[in-house]
Amino acid sequence: MPLDALQRARLLRWIRPALVGGVLWAALTSVAMVSVPAVPGGAKVLPGKVSAAPEDSRWVQVREHEIDGLRVTEVVLGRTDVDAELPLLVQFHGRGSRPTIPTGDHTRTPPVRLMLPWAPDPLGDGYTWFPLSVTEGRDKVLGHHIERRVQQLAHVIKKFASLRPTEGRPLVAGFSQGGMLTFGLALLRPDLVEAAFPLAGWLPSYLVDRYLDPSRTYPPIRALHGSGDPVVPLVETRAMVRRLQASGLDATLEVFESDQHELPAAAWTRYKAHVREAIRLRRRGAPDLG
């Protein structure tokens, strides 16, 4: 997907996914976010190690894990035991970003477990899931890395869900590169996913064609995208979602006014409603997520 001149100009103004990714959790919890500190070089992340919650937080419980070589931050929100059986919401951060932890008082937050995997490769102040950007236009190469990373993460998610008490199958969501992983998991490993929420994401068309199988059952996919996204163009994501719909998948795309690689507040509100509905469909009478 090579960028034209206008898109390249817009790219100079886009807000880093690190900032936008934090909004996702803020949309769910209506609180501020703090970045998770990086692990010093050579340090070992201990499986299940209790980690300090952000200052001035209540009912925010944090644990660190290392699963098959990937760091995973676990956050339990709400007035509950850290080992309670809870809905699991997996969030993939974007390129150059890192996981963020909700802060504030979560005494009244309906309990939920967040699984926040870390991309393995450093990039700037954050990390990246793939060694190249979608803006380079090398769809075949990018698709190869998406496919490999999805398979790795599917194993990590399955292992995490078996280690931590999990209600039903995981919900998956992510922004930008995280949105690509979210689409990928929904198509490559539909058996693992309850519902998928790709934000400003996309997949190369050849991957979609390769993994669509009329004999399989796929999870609902609720995509959200900016109208003028200069990094992941809307036209590509729209064509992909139409392809999914034509194949019988329960997939939707909602577009929000934005000329940056970010989403407005209305999109995060809509995302919150989608997550709430997915939990309610599985568990009658599930409480509001805030």
The owner of tokens 């996204």 is: 229
Band the pLDDT of 26: cuts 50, 70, 90.
Answer: very low
Q: Which CATH number fits domain 5-34+58-282: 3.90.1150.10, 3.40.50.1820, 3.10.300.10, 1.10.1060.10?
A: 3.40.50.1820
**How large a percentage of the chain has pLDDT more than 90?**
70
Mean pLDDT over all residues of the chain?
A: 85
78 or 9: which leads in pLDDT: 78
Backbone angles phi, psi at 233, to 5 degrees: -60, 140
User: Torsion angle of alpha carbons 177, 179, 183, 189, nearest 10°?
Assistant: 70
Per DSSP bridges, beta strands 195-199 and 171-175 are parallel
| Domain range annotation of the chain | 5-34+58-282
Average pLDDT over residues 21-39: 49
Task: Say what the pTM is.
Answer: 0.84
pLDDT in tens, 104-145: 999 988 889 999 999 999 999 999 999 999 999 999 999 999
